[in-house]
Structure 1
Amino acid sequence: MIKRGGVYIMESAEIVGDVTIGENSSVWSKAVIRGDECSVTIGKTTNIQDMCVIHPETDIPMEIGDNVTIGHGAVIHCRKIGSHCMIGMGALILDNAEIGEYSIIGAGAVVLENAKMPPRSMVLGIPGKVVRAIDDDGIKRIKSAALNYLRLSQAHYKGEYKRIS
C-alpha cells in the first residue's frame, strides 16, 4: 500500500481523471475510480474496498461524503452518497441516485436511477426500498467500520501485512 497526499492506495487500484480524495481515505485492491467523463469527489476517512467501480454519469459530478464505507464489489454510478454511510458488498447505485447521510445500503441491493433515499435509511432489496430508519446503534456501526478501515490502511502502509503472492 502506498500513501499519496494523505490517501492510502493499494498498488492494484486504478484512479483516473478528475478525482479528488480526502485525507485518511483508502482505495483497496482492484478498485476503479474513473473521473474521465466527470469529476469524482470523495471525502475524508472514506474507504473504497476491493473491486469497487466508481464512475459518474456523464456531465453530473459525483460526491461521496466523509466516513463512508463502500463494500467489496459495489458499483457506484450515482450523483451523491452523504457522509457516514455504509454501502454493502455487491450493491449497485445507479445514475443520478442520491443517498442521504447516515444510511446503510444492504449487500446486493439495487438503488434505481433517480432514486432519492432520505437520511438514516436502511435500504434493502431489488429494487432498493427503505425498510426502516437507522437507529443510534446503526450509526455507531457505520462510524466503527470507517475507523476500522483507517486502522487497516495504516497497518498495511506500515508493512504489518506482508504480501505472499
Structure 2
Amino acid sequence: MALLKEVNGKAPKWGDNCYLAENAALVGDITMGDDCSVWFGAVLRADVDAIRMGCRVNVQDCACIHQTRGGAVVIEDDVSIGHGAVVHACCLRKGALIGMNATVLDGAEVGEGAVVAAGAVVLAGTRVGPYEIWAGIPARLVKKADREQALTFSRHYMEIKEWYGTGGRNLPPCP
C-alpha cells in the first residue's frame, strides 16, 4: 500500500479505478480524478498548497510533484508525467506530456497536448503553447506536436495500470 499521509487536516483523495504503487508517497491536500496511476517511488507532496489532478493522469516512477505557498499544482485530464520528472507549482493542461527527467518550474503553464522533452527545464513563468514541443535547458520551442502525440502515452498507461489489478482493490476507501 502506498504511503498516504494527512497534513494539517488534509489527506489525499482519489477517484475510482486508481492505482497507487506500494512505495508511492501521497501527502496532504491532493485530489485525483478517476483512472489515475501513481507509480513506484513517485512523491506527491501537498503540505502548503494543493495538488489537483484530473482523470487518467499517470505519474511515473520516481517523479516528484510539489507545490509552494500560493502556488498549487493543477494537472488536467490525460496528462503523462515521465520517470524522474519534477513538476513544481505549475499548470499542465489536458493531454500534455512531461518527458523523463524534465522539470517544470513555478508558475509555468504547459499547454494542451504539448510535449516537454526528456531532460528539458521549463523555467518559472514560461508559457508552452498548445501542441508545441519544447526541449533544452532552458526549454525552447522546437516544433509543433502532432495532435495525438502526447495522448498515446496517457492511453498506454491506462492499459498498463490494469495489469496491476486496479479496480480499487489495492486502495482503501477514500477518506
TM-score normalised by length of structure 2: 0.84
Correspondence for 1:87: 98
Residues 126-165 of structure 1: pairs in structure 2 closer than 5 A: 126-135=137-146, 139-157=147-165
Work out whether residues 113 and 148 of structure 2, in 8 Å CA contact, stay in contact via their aligned partners in 1. no
Q: Secondary structure at the match of 1:30?
A: coil
Cα distance, 1:141 vs structure 2: 2.9
Partner SS state of residue 149, structure 2: helix
Shift of 1:58: 1.5
Provide runs of 4+ in structure 1 moved above 6 Å: none
Q: Shift in Å at residue 105 of structure 1?
A: 0.2
Higher helix fraction (1 or 2): 1
The question of 1:16 aligning with 2:27 is answered yes
Alpha-carbon distance change, 69 to 57 in structure 1, aligned in 2, over 3 angstroms: same
2:30–2:52 contact (8 Å) kept in structure 1: yes
Q: Deviations over 1:39-89 (max 9, x none)?
A: 000111110000000001221121001101100000000320001011100
> How far, CA to CA, are the matches of 1:97 and 1:140 in structure 2?
22
Note if contact 1:8-1:26 (Cα within 8 Å) is conserved in structure 2: yes
How many angstroms apart in 2 are the aligned matches of 1:130 and 1:41? Answer: 27
Q: Counterpart in 2 of 1:162?
A: none
Identity rate of aligned residues, in percent? 36
Aligned counterpart in structure 2 of residue 96 of structure 1, from 107, 120, 131: 107
Q: CA RMSD in A?
A: 1.4
Structure 1, unaligned runs of 5 or more: 159-165
Report the count of equivalent residues.
154
Report if aligned partners of 1:122, 1:131 keep a CA contact under 8 Å in 2: yes
Deviations 1:95-139 (A, max 9, x none): 11111111000000000011111111100000000111112xxx3
- Counterpart amino acid of 1:24? D
Are the aligned partners of 2:113 and 2:151 in contact in 1 as well (CA < 8 Å)? no
Relative to structure 1, is the Cα distance of residues 43 and 5 closer, same or farther in structure 2, using a 3 angstrom cutoff? closer
- Structure 2, unmatched stretches of 5+, are 3-13, 167-175
TM-score, L = length of structure 1: 0.89
Displacement of 1:11: 1.0
Q: Within 5 A, what are the aligned runs for 1:2-41?
A: 5-6=15-16, 7-41=18-52
Is the 8 Å Cα contact of residues 13 and 27 (structure 1) preserved in structure 2?
yes
Please give the alpha-carbon distance, in whole angstroms, between the structure 1 residues aligned to 2:152 and 2:57. 12
